[in-house]
């Protein structure tokens, strides 16, 4: 009987640790809408309005409506370039702090309707929402609660105005995939600040558009990353504690927003916002200061490659077009990204899942599908047919079951010896960069996790030039 027991031991292990198709979640976990948001990775921000024409970043709200007059507005051009860049959506500043509405709101007299653009018949939100549908892009809206123009700002009545404006947007231009709330709260034209009814705003959005994900300092669905450099923390938890915090001045410390909370009670992942230019609105003097494709790729590695999403601002010029310099950089960024990630040395390669010197082989971690996953109780090993030069390794957790990994170690096995690389969180995606090395095999070891087993759904290996 002992003989048969030892013969069956590897088989028992393979049954026990074969990639499971049913895993108990480790809470908190993302909602269906948040999971879909994670998969988008990269999309565009569009700052556009009176500031485009006045050379300001923050308008005062007293700019004459006629200052807004794009000569050749073409939202289809924006959408076409977004699509060519690999972006999955566009978020537009429907109303910035100056209070100017890019749609003819019934609740303001500071809108495109009062401008001479298209004789007051224009509607930027309508044109962009239609263009996004045509090009298969998600459509999102930024709407600042601060309004430096509206006469009711600073009174309880303004909260009604803000809700009604959001209602116009959802009913007139939906579906709205992401709603972006700026936490700014300055003085209005009457010298008063507004007490925002955030709880009412949140309930309204859930009621009118439950599939919309909402961004702000503290969510409820997506958090600010704590800087405007487009860079997530090297440690980045998708979790955040929000009790006792508010939006704007009362938000958590920027370090907390950058890294999240290890044991946070809510799934509120980070979004990394940054502009392709020094400013957020278009300024002709910045035409030669557009970020290069290499700079954009580096930001991708430090945002998406650290488990966050990458929101890149690309401001249209006074014609209402994305400038040629911005367009060229965006398209070359996509080409560079595709070139760098073209050859995955791990694709469909067998991976050994190891526990106590026993192993089982699977390809579920190398099939380039986030729908398949494997339980990793201790470590995984990938062996190359021949020594291979690599410098980037991509790891992904199956975050639908929660975020578990606290620390990991990658061991590169070379003819010359071993190289150890240590990291912290993985989350939706972790891209580990290191100097180019010729490797025979590699081991990924989970050295600390919040619960066992760790659930991974992908490992990929690249040599990036």
Same domain, 356 and 409: yes
Cis peptide before 175 (omega within 30 of 0): yes
Query: Quick one: pLDDT at residue 275?
Result: 98
Same domain, 12 and 97: no
Radius of gyration of the chain measured on its C-alpha atoms: 25
How far apart, in whole angstroms, are the C-alpha atoms of residue 382 and residue 395?
A: 13
Same domain, 405 and 434: yes
Cis peptide before 453 (omega within 30 of 0): yes
Same domain, 332 and 361: no
Same domain, 206 and 58: yes
List the one residue out of 228, 268, 282 whose CA is nearest residue 78.
282
Same domain, 152 and 188: yes
Same domain, 336 and 350: no
How far apart, in whole angstroms, are the C-alpha atoms of residue 267 and residue 189?
A: 38
Same domain, 191 and 208: yes
Instruction: Using the 3D structure, point to which of 340, 367, 386 is the last residue of a domain.
Output: 340
Query: Quick one: pLDDT at residue 357?
Result: 82
In which band, very low, low, confident or very high, does the pLDDT at 22 lie, cut at 50, 70 and 90?
confident
How far apart, in whole angstroms, are the C-alpha atoms of residue 167 and residue 175?
A: 12
Instruction: Using the 3D structure, point to which of 340, 359, 390 is the last residue of a domain.
Output: 340
Same domain, 50 and 138: yes
**Mean pLDDT of the 132-154 span:** 98
What does the pLDDT look like over 186-210, one tens digit per residue? 999 999 999 999 999 999 999 999 9
| pTM: predicted TM-score of the whole model, two decimal places | 0.95
Buried b or exposed e, range 171-190, using 16+ CB within 10 angstroms? eebeebbbbbbbbebeebbe
Give the H or E element holding residue 441: strand 430-449
- CATH number where 446 lies: 2.60.120.260
More confident residue, 224 or 22: 224
Q: Does 2 have pLDDT greater than 90?
A: no
How far apart, in whole angstroms, are the C-alpha atoms of residue 331 and residue 235?
A: 30
What does the pLDDT look like over 306-323, one tens digit per residue? 999 999 999 999 999 999
* Residue numbers of the domain that contains 315: 32-340
Same domain, 315 and 360: no
Domain count, the chain: 2
Same domain, 60 and 146: yes
Same domain, 161 and 241: yes
Instruction: Using the 3D structure, point to which of 276, 308, 340 is the last residue of a domain.
Output: 340
Give the H or E element holding residue 351: strand 351-355
Contact (Cβ atoms closer than 8 angstroms) between residue 348 and residue 376: no
Query: Quick one: pLDDT at residue 4?
Result: 31
- CATH number where 233 lies: 3.20.20.80
């Amino acid at each position: 009987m002992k003989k048969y027991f030892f013969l069956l031991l590897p088989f028992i292990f393979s049954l026990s640790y074969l990639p499971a198709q049913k895993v108990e979640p480790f809470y908190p976990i993302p909602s269906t809408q948040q999971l879909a948001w994670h998969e988008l990775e990269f999309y565009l921000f569009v700052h556009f309005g009176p500031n485009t024409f006045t050379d300001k970043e923050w308008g005062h709200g007293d700019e004459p409506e006629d200052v807004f007059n794009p000569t050749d507005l073409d939202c289809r051009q924006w959408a076409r370039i977004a699509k060519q860049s690999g972006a999955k959506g566009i978020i537009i500043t429907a109303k910035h702090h100056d209070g100017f509405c890019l749609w003819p709101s019934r609740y303001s007299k500071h809108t495109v309707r009062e401008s001479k653009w298209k004789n007051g018949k224009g509607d930027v939100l309508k044109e962009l929402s239609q263009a996004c549908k045509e090009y298969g892009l998600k459509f999102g809206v930024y709407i600042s609660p601060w309004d430096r123009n509206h006469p009711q700002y600073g009174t309880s009545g303004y909260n009604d105005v803000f809700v009604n404006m959001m209602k116009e947007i959802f009913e007139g231009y939906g579906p709205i995939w992401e709603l972006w709330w700026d936490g700014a709260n300055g003085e209005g034209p009457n010298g008063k600040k507004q007490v925002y009814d955030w709880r009412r705003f949140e309930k309204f959005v859930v009621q009118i558009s439950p599939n919309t994900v909402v961004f702000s300092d503290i969510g409820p669905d997506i958090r600010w990353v704590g800087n405007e450099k487009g860079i997530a923390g090297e440690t980045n938890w998708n979790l955040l504690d929000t009790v006792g915090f508010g939006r704007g001045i009362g938000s958590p410390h920027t370090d907390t927003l950058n890294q999240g909370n290890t044991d946070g009670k809510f799934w509120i992942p980070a979004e990394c916002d940054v502009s392709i230019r020094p400013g957020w609105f278009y300024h002709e003097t910045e035409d030669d200061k557009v970020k290069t494709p290499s700079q954009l790729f580096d930001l991708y590695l430090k945002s998406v490659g650290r488990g966050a999403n990458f929101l890149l601002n690309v401001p249209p010029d006074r014609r209402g077009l994305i400038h040629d310099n911005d367009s060229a950089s965006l398209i070359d960024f996509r080409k560079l990204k595709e070139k760098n990630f073209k050859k995955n040395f791990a694709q469909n390669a067998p991976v050994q899942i190891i526990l106590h010197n026993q192993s089982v082989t699977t390809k579920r971690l190398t099939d380039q599908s986030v729908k398949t996953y494997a339980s990793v109780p201790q470590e995984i090993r990938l062996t190359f047919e021949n020594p291979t030069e690599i410098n980037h390794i991509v790891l992904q957790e199956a975050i639908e079951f929660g975020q578990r990994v606290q620390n990991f170690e990658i061991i590169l096995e070379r003819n010359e010896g071993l190289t150890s690389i240590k990291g912290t969180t993985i989350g939706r995606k972790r891209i580990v960069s290191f100097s180019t090395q010729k490797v025979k095999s590699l081991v990924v070891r989970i050295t600390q996790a919040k619960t066992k087993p760790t659930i991974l759904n992908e490992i990929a290996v690249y040599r990036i030039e």
